[in-house]
Amino acid sequence: MHNETLRTQLSIIYEIFIENMKLHINKMLKAAGSPQGSKYYNYIQLAKKRGLTQSQTAKHLCISISTVKRNWDGAVID
């Protein structure tokens, strides 16, 4: 009886361990960042073409300056 209980507990622990490892592996394999790129990219590029500065663009679009800087020169990666 004690051996069966121990086996059941070990089996449960093993299953939990395997599921956690699967989640960890999937998280490691998942590509970083947004798959479609920034939703502001086109707006930022338009503001740039119109001669706005990065600071002005951020204020007009109500977004952070870091979002503007990240999308200012960067190309959209497909």
Tens digit of pLDDT per residue, the chain (78 long)? 678 888 888 888 988 888 888 888 877 777 666 666 678 999 999 999 999 999 999 999 999 999 999 999 876 544
4: alpha, beta or left, given left = phi > 0 and alpha = psi -120 to 50?
Answer: alpha
pTM of the model: 0.53
Cα distance between residue 66 and residue 33, in whole Å: 15
Cα distance between residue 23 and residue 28, in whole Å: 9
Calculate the alpha carbon distances from 59 to 27, 29, 34, 46 in Å.
35, 36, 23, 14
